[in-house]
Amino acid sequence: MDKNNLTPPKLPENLVGVSGWLLLFCISLTILSPLVNIIPLVNEISSDPDLLSSIIGAILTAGPLIYGIIIGIRLWLVKPNALKHAKIFLVVVLAINLLILAVSILMRSDSRQLFSTAIRSILPFIIWWSYLSRSIRVRNTYQTTKNMTKEEKPIDTQ
């Protein structure tokens, strides 16, 4: 095999823009999560005879759902503070799920369902938080001059 025909590996500086895992995160926030959650939300509201319970359930589901859509769009469009808001979103969703888990434990719900709920809330948090915190693509895409060292800042030619 001729060494001259080998293409050089992508340098970390070339990893910029919304693609790869970052694009999957945006798609999951803006498209997949709403599709997965809208039908159970409508079913819960229409089938629950207790109006207060329905309203609380709708707020706990629709609130983060709408916030997630907004965050996904902001990330996709590379808006200022989008990364900070995405991390806040992850913490809020984790907190809501842990609150639901705590209430379920106090109400002595099914332990298999509790374990499933805990895993469904904690595992995505760990995965996406780690990705958003450590990814070179995320860092390159959302890096602001405010966060750069003096050597990293672009030179102003004007």
Pair 129, 83: CB distance under 8 Å: no
Q: What is the pLDDT of residues 66-94, one digit of tens each?
A: 999 999 999 999 999 999 999 999 999 89
Q: Which domain holds residue 25?
A: 19-145
How many other CB atoms are found less than 10 A from the CB of residue 99? 12
73 part of a folded domain: yes
pTM metric for this prediction:
0.73
Domain-embedded: residue 3? no
Q: Is 14 a member of any domain?
A: no
pLDDT 10s digits, 9-66? 555 667 889 999 999 999 999 999 999 888 877 777 777 677 777 777 777 778 889 9
Number of structural domains (the chain) is 1
Q: Give domain status of residue 4, yes or no.
A: no
Q: Does the residue 151 lie in any domain?
A: no
Distance CA 16, CA 134 (A): 14
pLDDT, tens digit, 9 for 90 and up, residues 106-141: 777 666 666 676 777 788 999 999 999 999 999 999
* Tokens of residue 139, six digits: 């860092």
**pLDDT at residue 145 in the model:** 45
| Domain assignment of residue 5, yes or no | no
Residue 27 CA to residue 75 CA, distance in Å, equals 10
| 50 domain residue, yes or no | yes
Is residue 88 one of the residues assigned to a domain? yes
First to last CA, the chain: 49
Q: Let me know the angle formed at the C-alpha of 99 by 95 and 105, rounded to the nearest 5 degrees.
A: 145
